[in-house]
Structure 1
């Protein structure tokens, strides 16, 4: 589907496009296609040739890397308005990870050959890409520090709090992580096992910190969870 045929309110509602002049927006959308990505479907896979880059319009994605020993690691999540698959900006010819739709999603896609001309004409895209790469580096450094120095419970607390920051929505019950997330996902984010995450989450439920169900996590007491994550070992 050509991107120009989309409802402009869907596009203009994203911060990256909100301040663009109409001519600049037309130039950005030129050559872009819009794709529906059903839940559970990969947008691209690790090791595949990086022929395109993307911007998520609606939905939610998780980015998963498979290590040489076959372990899966959830390295980040993609929210509406995020640029992703920017191997071209990293001077890579392949995708370093697999991006999978967590829920039914809608994404824009451009040929990788369009990256340099678009960035040259639209500094907002360049800024967004730089912020994306910078945030990835910060997250990677934080995870390395957590894996090296923190006990499992604190690592799990930091992971849940990152999800709250990215996609938390206040409800009467508490702060809902507003996309499906499983305990296995948390395990893959924290370098631990499903059994360990289940034990930690069950203990938190007993203390009134969280409520969880199938693919659902609600933080009932964010302040106590922050205190737990920041507590000295």
Structure 2
């Protein structure tokens, strides 16, 4: 995961803050107030009005959609450099999902009207927003295809490859996915049950593809994980 380091802080290059030139980034970060969110705290709540946006300086949050019958489904992850709340800011609608801190989050909360002014006065901010929104749509389309088809072990392997690409750091003898996710969270992301994820993780550990510790997964053998990701109807692709 490539990073841009400025003034002691680093931003993933493909993130909203990472795409901004230094001057525009500083203007944006000085346009709001700092706020901390403890694990479990909501940054925004699905169905509620609001057009403020939050630029994440550190921490990690999960984006959760709640169905009509009350079931929760994780739809994405937000980490350092990401923006939260931009969809409602753009169209004026209610929040489309709930965003919950999974580790302590430090963010800059920018009033919705002020953010709109920044978009108008700073083309680089508007360009960064357009690029990150396009990236989110592209990623969502890819995951829709990858995570809804094939046996659970293949879908889980594809998810772990995706998470390692975006959030992986060297550690634990491999590439540690630096996002704390429970087996329930993983099951939600690949559309299956916790027991099925447990069995798939057990098999991936047996193959030496991954190692696990509480709420964390480390990719130890990318080749073995890629083979598992290629499985379809019990057989490898190709």
TM interval, shorter chain, is 0.7 to 0.9
> Which 4+ runs in 1 deviate beyond 4 A?
none
Report the counterpart of residue 232 of structure 1 in structure 2: 237
Q: Equivalents in 2 of 1:31, 1:143: separation in Å?
A: 34
Task: Assess, with a 3 A threshold, how the Cα gap between structure 1 residues 76 and 84 changes in structure 2: closer, same or farther.
Answer: same
Q: Post-superposition shift, 1:26?
A: 5.5
Matches within 5 A, 1:1-233: 9=7, 13-14=10-11, 16=17, 19-21=21-23, 24-25=24-25, 27-171=27-171, 173-230=173-230, 231-232=236-237
Contact 2:208 2:224 in 1 (8 A): no
Can you list the C-alpha shifts for 1:142-201, whole angstroms capped at 9, x where unaligned? 232235532222111111111111211112511111131211111111111111000100
Consecutive unaligned residues in structure 2, runs of 5 or more: 1-5, 231-235
Give TM-score, length-normalised by structure 2: 0.85
Contact 2:37 2:105 in 1 (8 A): yes
Q: Equivalents in 2 of 1:30, 1:147: separation in Å?
A: 39
Q: Equivalents in 1 of 2:26, 2:50: separation in Å?
A: 24
Can you list the C-alpha shifts for 1:6-58, whole angstroms capped at 9, x where unaligned? xx8356x435376333xx45542444011011111111111111231111001
Q: Equivalents in 2 of 1:27, 1:180: separation in Å?
A: 31
1:105 match: secondary structure:
strand
Quick check: which one's strand share is greater?
2
Residues paired across the two proteins, number: 223
Backbone CA RMSD of aligned residues: 2.2
Q: Equivalents in 1 of 2:86, 2:185: separation in Å?
A: 23
Give TM-score, length-normalised by structure 1: 0.86
Can you list the C-alpha shifts for 1:100-121, whole angstroms capped at 9, x where unaligned? 1111110111111122211122
2:118 match: secondary structure:
helix
